[in-house]
Amino acid sequence: MSKMDKEQFSVWLLEGAQQLGLSLNPQQIDPFWTYMAEMQRWNEKMALTSITDEKEFIVKHLLDSIALIRWFPSHTSVADVGSGAGLPGIALKIMEPSLRLYLIESQKKKSNFLRHIVRQLELDNTVVLNNRLEDLEIQSQFHKTLDRVTARALGPLNQWIPLALPLLREKGRIVWILGRSWQQEVDSQRGNFPKWGIEIEDLQSFSLPWKMGERGVALLKLL
């Protein structure tokens, strides 16, 4: 671990969650602390994150992810595509242990980290898949079975939405995570929604704690 101790970590995590209108229980501090420490340790030998400042790490990785929890009801099945270091999937699972989580990651080294952290945190109903979204294995295994599909920094929407939609059950939803220019991102893709057979059910924005940025979230549903 680095300069920050667990007490300071807890203060920032709890205060940041409060700024987002969320509450954490004491039992959630330990897994978030372990998750951050392991990500930093593994980051020394592989590129999991470019963020080295601890407070920024807490805000832009952990708090940024758990802010999405309102779009992930309990007991839903979730695919986190291009999961990388497990964001937002692992953070959401810590917040809501009842989620059935599938972490889809094409890079073997990152998949190995994900398997390690799933074991370390003893997360049940959590499966790591070393695949790409377009792999036939993924397309057939999850065809019309998932409640939620999400992706963080996976690339332009038109590159992955057509592949994600067949995985959703009838009432399933895409949770589209947007950056600070979220309104422009949405406007640039609106023309594609009819051909994809989707529409925006919910669109919200929020500020990250300590003025570290803006985010948008669009909930996309099948027509």
pLDDT digits (tens, 9 = 90+) for 144-176: 999 999 999 888 888 999 999 999 999 999 999
**220 sits in which H/E element:** strand 214-222
Yes or no: say if 56 and 47 are a contact pair by the CB < 8 Å rule. Answer: no
Residue 3 has pLDDT above 90, yes or no: no
For range 109-115, the mean pLDDT? 97
pLDDT surpasses 80 at 2: no
Residue (of 39, 197, 57) closest to 116 by Cα position: 39
Which tens digit of pLDDT belongs to each residue from 13-70? Answer: 999 999 999 999 989 999 999 999 999 999 988 989 998 899 999 999 999 999 999 9
Rounded to two decimals, what is the model's pTM?
0.95
**What is the token pair recorded at 11?**
């203060």
Task: State both tokens at 190.
Answer: 């609106």
The pLDDT of residue 186 is above 60:
yes
Determine phi and psi for 82, rounding to 5 degrees: 65, 45
Helix (H, G, I), strand (E, B) or coil at 162: helix
Strand partners, 218: 176, 203
Residue 169 to residue 130: CA distance in whole angstroms: 23
What single letter denotes the amino acid at residue 195?
Answer: K
Structural domains in the chain?
Answer: 6-222 (3.40.50.150)
C-alpha to C-alpha distance for 131 and 104, rounded to whole angstroms: 6
* Spatial contact of 40 and 63, defined as CB atoms under 8 Å apart: no
CB 13 within 8 A of CB 52: no
